[in-house]
Chain A
């Protein structure tokens, strides 16, 4: 088979498109985890975003309402998590798992009336430039606005955490809530905000799936991408730029494998499905050998409840 540059460009473009929901959800979860909260409800928040976006688009016909509605739905469902873990001080892991189960169930219930309805086409930008530059055009042009936002998000997140005062506060709360609290920071407020922000990004990631990537509603359509997004945060050692790389690798695995199948090269599929998790474990093993690195990258109070007596 002859490999021409445009073909490579097409493959890279489809890998990037498949990475979008992973980047969005991971960057949201990263902020949540950086504030010391472990929310395992990513899959549940994504599926809620997916059905909310699709339902609002079908009912109102407005893509803008649908996209923001999906984010709002993510915020609302994460509010439940925030209330339980921050106000009632429940266990993060158990509450997050419950959130996922709840999200999958309730999305199926709402979704009953939206099965079998074709979605609306989502507008793409710069489409006229699609054939101008070989290799680069399919990568750069003709995508939805959410696509461009997703690829800017890791850089924005990185800047936010490293260079802004609020970013510093978030990290302080995640590393030592006691110290932050003594400095007069309202730990609960910061954590609430970070959880809700994570919910909004997961909602957007879900809406991308049901409105842009494959415009339709089907039960369980997130198909485990929320769990991959969670693994991705660990894989990245809580570094947003590495999320970008990880999402391309994780999203690309399936696409490369399909291309190989079509060419006639066989790789065991079960192995490829497990690969994101295997890679995450390897990364964990590698970083855990260096205790200093762990201390620097992992939010020290991740998953621990904090409450102030007053």
Chain B
């Protein structure tokens, strides 16, 4: 009787042990927290494309969409950590504090926070993409192809990420065409097709013949197509929405990073770090160039793309002046990451003030 009991006890222990080992080695579960709906065809949509890459690599994934950047975020994170997820990606800046707070309570769960800078616990890593490198490419094309020398730019919110993009775009455009002006319209939304369309239309009516955007919907490229001006796609390749207008798009490519990090969790090689990848690492991708771009511009673009990728050229190379003519970056120097992360002033050549 006793023997039987001990045998069954031992065997069940062994069974449990194998189960646990199996769970640790194979069934790594990743969770993704999104600020918007996966149907936004912009920021969240691209993160979800990355999630699907993780799924394709053989891992289980879960996602929660439309999570507000408030106490709700903490609740969602706690629930995901409690329900057996090994790594949680939080894909919006505003999740920074909730991520760190919940990470403290779950030291065995890894947290990956996008676009933030706080890593208060050893299980929190941060990652972001150098989209400004892509915008330097767009600026080069815009500066070469504008006829009116007025370039419109629909911006979302006055935060360093967006201002960095405007500056990088303008600097690159000035390099090929010193006469250009960048007109900015702040839409104060990340996606509202109607509003974005109205903003783009206002810029076109005021003489802009190329429209760049830092909002997420495809409304702007559609308006450009109707008005017969050029535009650039944002976050994903928007060419099919406006085949004539879209010269190229800057794509957010999170997939490779997500797969790499989830694999690292599975292998036990995950470590805390801050990742800021650009064109070189493939996190920022330039879509196919439109046939309407002339070959001399094309070769200029290809060269810049290669130089940005190799690190030979930095998008913020001095001398760079602000709107009042004060030196921001000295000749021969490049802006360091700290300066880029906190950039809240326009460079010379951008029109207007940053709204407060």
Answer yes or no: A223 CB below 8 A from chain B CBs: yes
With A214-B194, A218-B41, A262-B152 given, is the CB distance from A14 to B205 under 8 Å?
A: yes
Give the residue among B194, B196, B241 with the most A Cβ atoms within 10 A.
B194
Nearest-neighbor residue (CB-CB) of B152 within chain A: A262
Answer yes or no: A264 CB below 8 A from chain B CBs: yes
Nearest-neighbor residue (CB-CB) of B351 within chain A: A264
Answer yes or no: A10 CB below 8 A from chain B CBs: yes
| Complex-state Cα separation, A261 to B205, whole angstroms | 13
User: Which residues of B26-79 have CB atoms within 8 Å of chain A's CB atoms?
Assistant: 36-41, 45
Answer yes or no: B262 CB below 8 A from chain A CBs: no
Contact A116 B188 (CB under 8 A): no
User: Which residues of B186-224 have CB atoms within 8 Å of chain A's CB atoms?
Assistant: 186-189, 191-199, 201-203, 205-206, 217-219, 222-223
Contact B185 A108 (CB under 8 A): no
Answer yes or no: B353 CB below 8 A from chain A CBs: yes
Q: Per-residue CB proximity of A212-249 to B under 8 Å, as 1/0?
A: 01111111110101000000000000000000000000
A43 → chain B, closest Cβ, in Å? 13
* A contact residues around B37 at 8 Å (CB): 108, 219-220
Contact A221 B193 (CB under 8 A): yes
Contact B183 A262 (CB under 8 A): yes
| Complex-state Cα separation, A118 to B152, whole angstroms | 23
Answer yes or no: A255 CB below 8 A from chain B CBs: yes
Contact A221 B218 (CB under 8 A): no
Contact B186 A254 (CB under 8 A): no
Contact B240 A118 (CB under 8 A): yes
A118, A216, A254, A269: the one contacting B217 at CB < 8 Å is A216
Answer yes or no: A115 CB below 8 A from chain B CBs: yes
With A108-B39, A116-B236, A269-B186 given, is the CB distance from A216 to B203 under 8 Å?
A: no
* B contact residues around A308 at 8 Å (CB): none
Contact A258 B40 (CB under 8 A): no
| Complex-state Cα separation, A205 to B23, whole angstroms | 52
* B contact residues around A273 at 8 Å (CB): 188
Contact A10 B205 (CB under 8 A): yes
Answer yes or no: B247 CB below 8 A from chain A CBs: no
Give the residue among A10, A11, A218 with the most B Cβ atoms within 10 A.
A218
Q: Per-residue CB proximity of A72-107 to B under 8 Å, as 1/0?
A: 000000000000000000000000000000000000
* A contact residues around B353 at 8 Å (CB): 266
* B contact residues around A214 at 8 Å (CB): 193-194, 196-197, 217, 219, 222-223
B268 → chain A, closest Cβ, in Å? 36
Nearest-neighbor residue (CB-CB) of B354 within chain A: A266
Contact B206 A218 (CB under 8 A): no
| Complex-state Cα separation, A213 to B222, whole angstroms | 10
Nearest-neighbor residue (CB-CB) of A121 within chain B: B226
Contact A269 B355 (CB under 8 A): yes
Contact A115 B152 (CB under 8 A): no
| Complex-state Cα separation, A225 to B194, whole angstroms | 10
* A contact residues around B183 at 8 Å (CB): 262
A114 → chain B, closest Cβ, in Å? 8
Contact B192 A223 (CB under 8 A): yes
B128 → chain A, closest Cβ, in Å? 24
Give the residue among A118, A209, A213 with the most B Cβ atoms within 10 A.
A118
Contact A213 B194 (CB under 8 A): yes
* B contact residues around A263 at 8 Å (CB): 206
Nearest-neighbor residue (CB-CB) of B217 within chain A: A218
Answer yes or no: A126 CB below 8 A from chain B CBs: no
Contact B222 A216 (CB under 8 A): yes
Answer yes or no: B162 CB below 8 A from chain A CBs: no
Answer yes or no: B352 CB below 8 A from chain A CBs: yes
Answer yes or no: A259 CB below 8 A from chain B CBs: yes
Answer yes or no: B103 CB below 8 A from chain A CBs: no
B326 → chain A, closest Cβ, in Å? 20
* A contact residues around B198 at 8 Å (CB): 14, 18, 254-255, 258
With A111-B39, A218-B40, A221-B193 given, is the CB distance from A266 to B222 under 8 Å?
A: no
Answer yes or no: B184 CB below 8 A from chain A CBs: yes
With A10-B205, A11-B205, A221-B193 given, is the CB distance from A262 to B185 under 8 Å?
A: yes
B292 → chain A, closest Cβ, in Å? 19
| Complex-state Cα separation, A263 to B150, whole angstroms | 12
Contact B194 A118 (CB under 8 A): no
Contact A116 B205 (CB under 8 A): no
Contact B193 A116 (CB under 8 A): no
Give the residue among B41, B198, B222 with the most A Cβ atoms within 10 A.
B198
| Complex-state Cα separation, A262 to B152, whole angstroms | 8
* A contact residues around B205 at 8 Å (CB): 7, 10-11, 14, 259
A112, A216, A268: the one contacting B193 at CB < 8 Å is A216
| Complex-state Cα separation, A115 to B187, whole angstroms | 22
Contact B40 A262 (CB under 8 A): no
B20 → chain A, closest Cβ, in Å? 37
With A18-B194, A118-B218 given, is the CB distance from A262 to B202 under 8 Å?
A: yes
* A contact residues around B195 at 8 Å (CB): 223, 254
A: residues with CB less than 8 A from B are 1, 7, 10-11, 14, 18, 108, 111-112, 115-116, 118, 209, 213-221, 223, 225, 254-255, 258-259, 261-264, 266, 268-270, 273
What would be 14 A-B contacts, judged by CB atoms less than 8 Å apart? Answer: A115-B40, A209-B194, A215-B222, A216-B193, A216-B217, A218-B39, A221-B192, A223-B194, A255-B202, A259-B202, A261-B185, A261-B186, A262-B183, A262-B206
B: residues with CB less than 8 A from A are 36-41, 45, 152, 183-189, 191-199, 201-203, 205-206, 217-219, 222-223, 236, 240-242, 351-353, 355
Inter-chain pairs besides A115-B39, A115-B40, A262-B152, 10 sampled, C-beta below 8 Å = A111-B39, A112-B39, A115-B41, A115-B45, A118-B242, A214-B194, A214-B222, A214-B223, A223-B189, A258-B199
